[in-house]
Amino acid sequence: MNQKFDVLTDLIHSRRAIFPQNYKAGKIAPEILDAILENARWAPNHKKTEPWRFVLIENEALKELSEFLSNRYKLNTSTENFDPIKFKKAGEKPLQAAAVIAICIQRSPASHIPEWEETAALACAVQNIWLSCTALGIGSYWSSPDAIHHMKDFLRLSENESCLGLFFMGWSDYEAPVPNRKPLSEIVRRMG
């Protein structure tokens, strides 16, 4: 086809969820994080609402996030369902990451814009982040623990903002397995 398409195709096919236990030690430079978030801003969005909001969590704030996630797991889990391994993992993940982006949405006050369209726009922004991380060799994944429904105060969100997930990031050379995908013949119907 052409070189740009080939590079894009390679990035899309290479994108994987890389979990924090596969990250190497090391910070992500502020200019790299800014460049990644800049790419997020270029996602398509209906009526130009730009509903995405991001809270970048790094350095000492990762310890605060660790404590918050551990405490939320403990508060939200009954004694009979409490799993010490899940409790430990909830707190470990932020400490294994170089940075975490809280993926937030700010709903447009225009009631005629469907919520699903703004959520889809946010997902497009996250895909831009994910592809940027893939291109840079940064492992990453989008997590949506139950704790995200209780993060308004922790993240200092405004009244019309909410958190839809946490995007963990860290340097990684881990080779995740290639996922299975259905063939086009199973997902595409041609008309005309």
Instruction: State the alpha helices, DSSP H only, in 80-183.
Output: 84-96, 115-136, 152-155
State the residue for tokens 């010490």. 84
pLDDT at 112: 81
pLDDT at 46: 85
Nearest to 40 by CA among 102, 113, 111, 112: 102
Domains and CATH numbers, the chain: 18-172 (3.40.109.10)
Structure tokens at 155: 């993240």
What does 5-54 look like in DSSP terms, one character per residue? HHHHHHHHHH-----GGGPPS-PPPHHHHHHHHHHHTTS--GGG---EEE
pLDDT exceeding 90 applies to what percent of the chain? 90
What is the CB neighbour count within 10 angstroms for residue 170? 25
Kindly report, residue by residue over 101-157, the tens digit of the pLDDT: 999 999 877 678 888 999 999 999 999 999 999 999 999 999 999 999 999 999 999
Q: Is the pLDDT assigned to residue 32 strictly greater than 80?
A: yes
Predicted TM-score (pTM) above 0.85: yes
Q: Which residue has the higher pLDDT, 161 or 111?
A: 161
CA 7 to chain centre: 22
Angle at 128 between CA 26 and CA 9, to 5 degrees: 100
pLDDT at 108: 79
